[in-house]
Structure 1
Amino acid sequence: MRLFHAPGSPYARIARMAVIELGLEDRIAVEEATLRDPGSVLLPFNPVGRVPTLVLADGTAVTETTPVLMVLDSLVEPPRRLLPGAEAPRALAAYGRVLGMMDGIAVWNRELRRPEHERSPGVIALERVRAARIADALERDVAGGGYVVRDAGWLALVALLGYCERRHRAFAWREGRPALAALFDTAQARPCVARTVPPEGMGGTAASG
């Protein structure tokens, strides 16, 4: 099996961390792909051109973070569910909240990468307020004992904060959020985190999904 990713994508990083966390590195080759590139090695497998994309042994290409996690969970015996199900609504809600913030950060980052005269101040203001609101909610969640289980919600949160830390510094997410900062800092020692650190700088968006 092959997992295509882009180094700057927090969505793909979730899948990369999951491969390590589940001990699947000997079964899945992790390969880098370019995005928005008509010559990308990804396109013959996935015409959508998004990451993460997991190509199965029979050639089936599973794309988008949540479906990829579903497949990865199914490969482990005995089963270890990173992705919460309907029987764990609070964990599922925690995962969804982080993905929602990630989507907004992607929009904000995309606007900042446009030439200044093409940017939408309204979109930037909206996403800045949204990000702060969700980050405050996440701070309360973490301070209240949430995100302690290393499941999909934890992986997504670490990937999101890592993206903000290194590639979206317009958002000062640490300010006034000590519990969130402590969770992120502690997570850096985890092998799945340390081995998937994204590159520095503003050289890319949060694509894909």
Structure 2
Amino acid sequence: MRLFHTPGSPFARMVRVALRETGLLGRVAEVETTLRDPASSLLPANPVGRVPTLLLADGTALTETALILPFLDGLGGAYPLLPLGDVAARAAFGRILGMMDGIGVWNRELRRVPEERSPGVIALETGRAGRVADALEAEIAAGGWRLAGPPDAARIALGCTLGYAERRHRAWDWRPGRPALAAWFDALAARPAFQATLPPESGL
């Protein structure tokens, strides 16, 4: 199997962290690729041209983190990322994916020239990200989101989302007023799987 990724993609990073945490990395070759490029090495495998893409031995291309992580659970890794029947774990995972989707929209707006940016979109996504982060701060302060043992899909997703904000969407300083969330992130980010997949910093 091959995993196509780009170093800056938080969604691809979620899969890369999961492979390392579950001990499945030895079964998957990581292939760095390019996006928005007609010569991308990804396009022959997946004409959608999005990462992460997991290319299976039979040529099937799985796109999207939300599909790839459950597939990994079927490969017999060290532990399940999304335990069967655990609705709360899946709800938490979905919430963080939604948070990251919104931050991605916000980031793309900021990469436009100023006269092409939508203030309404930026305000909407700023509010969404802050609202979710505030809820997480309250939940963690109350004892939720514990980090006992290896991280599940939701914790991996949240770590990659906050890590993206720290290194590639620095327009959002999420730490002030959220000490519990900041301490939680710092503990998770120190794990070897996160350190090995740090995204490059961008100019934003």
Q: TM-score range by the shorter chain?
A: over 0.9
**Higher mean Cα deviation, 190-199 or 142-151?**
142-151
Of the three residues 116, 119, 137, the one matched with 2:117 is 119
Equivalents in 2 of 1:11, 1:66: separation in Å? 9
Alignment correspondent of 1:136: 134
Deviation at 1:147, TM superposition (A): 2.3
**Structure 1 outlier segments of 4+, above 3 Å:** none
Structure 1 residues 46-86: Cα deviation after superposition (integer angstroms, max 9, x where no partner): 11111111011111111100111111111115x7210244x
Cα displacement (A) at 1:146: 2.4
Q: Structure 2: which 5+ residue stretches go unaligned?
A: none
Give the match for residue 72 of structure 2: 72
Q: TM-score, normalised by structure 1?
A: 0.92
Which stretches in structure 1 are left out of the alignment for 5+ residues?
A: 204-209
Q: Distance between the aligned counterparts of 1:162 and 1:101, measured in 2?
A: 13
- Look up the match of 1:206: none
Shift of the alpha carbon at 1:201? 1.3
2:126 paired with 1:155: no
Residue identity matched to 1:34: T
Kindly state the Cα deviation for residue 128 of structure 1 after the two structures are TM-superposed: 0.7
- Return the letter of the residue paired with 1:25: L
Instruction: Please name the residue that 2:60 is paired with.
Output: 60
Whole-angstrom CA distance in 1 between matches of 2:189 and 2:108: 27
**Which segment drifts farther, 112-121 or 133-142?**
133-142
- 1:98 Cα deviation from its structure 2 partner: 0.7
Asked whether the equivalents of residues 147 and 153 of structure 1 are also in contact (C-alpha less than 8 Å), the reply is: no
Q: Which moved more, 1:30-39 or 1:140-149?
A: 140-149
**Partner Cα separation in structure 2 for residue 131 and residue 202 of structure 1:** 20
Quote the offset at 1:144 in angstroms. Answer: 2.4
Counterpart contact for 1:14–1:65, Cα < 8 Å: yes
Structure 2 distance, partners of 1:76, 1:12, is 20
8 Å CA contact 1:3–1:31 kept in 2: the answer is: yes
Q: What's the counterpart of residue 82 of structure 1?
A: 81
Stretch deviating more after TM superposition (141-150 or 4-13): 141-150
Number of the residue aligned with 1:96: 94
Which structure's relative contact order is higher, taking Cα pairs within 8 Å and 6+ residues apart?
Answer: 1
TM-score (norm 2): 0.94
Provide the residue aligned with 1:207 in structure 2. Answer: none
Contact 1:148 1:154 in 2 (8 A): no
Amino acid of the structure 2 residue aligned with 1:159: C
Tell me what 1:186 maps to.
187
Helix, strand or coil for the counterpart of 2:4? strand
Partner-residue secondary structure (3-state), 2:25: coil
CA contact (8 A) 1:62 1:68 kept: yes
What's the offset of the Cα at 1:20? Answer: 0.4
Distance 2:32 2:58 in 1: 20
Secondary structure at 1:128's aligned position in 2? Answer: helix
Identity over aligned pairs, percent = 62
Shift of 1:97: 1.1
